[in-house]
Amino acid sequence: MTAYLYIESRDPFDSADSRYFPDLVKGTRERGHKTTLFLVQNGVLPARKGSQFSDRFRELAEAGITIYADDFSLAERAIGAADTDSHVQSAGMDRLLDLLLEPDTKAVWH
């Protein structure tokens, strides 16, 4: 089975098309694929606890999608571990690299 790694670098508060990216991620999971969402750069902004996107993260997590946020991107934006949504795990770029190198993985960068 193919695994999909979605990398979101855009801020949904600034990029309107980013609001629909979680639908693509969830649809992939619903088709039976292992699916991971990795937030980087401004893509970590909605990972703040209490953000209007918290329900989307909960929905994705309940669907079986693992959600990571780049720890460096979080730190650059003054989002600490206590400030991060409970459905989002902080991870370093080394974790992203591990995910990219897993066999049968397709990456989609947005």
pTM for the predicted model, two decimal places: 0.93
Q: What is the mean pLDDT of residues 48-64?
A: 91
Single-letter code of the amino acid located at 106: K
Q: Which percentage of the chain shows pLDDT scores above 90? A: 76
**Torsion of Cα atoms, 26 then 30 then 32 then 38, to 10°:** 10
**Confidence class of residue 17 from pLDDT cuts 50, 70 and 90?**
confident
**Confidence class of residue 66 from pLDDT cuts 50, 70 and 90?**
very high
Q: What are phi and psi of 3, to 5 degrees?
A: -100, 145
CATH architecture of 3-109: 3-Layer(aba) Sandwich (3.40)
Q: Where are the domains of the chain?
A: 3-109
**What's the pLDDT tens digit per position in 81-97?**
889 999 999 999 999 99
At 64, list the tokens. 């079986």
Single-letter code of the amino acid located at 23: D
pLDDT at 13 over 90: no
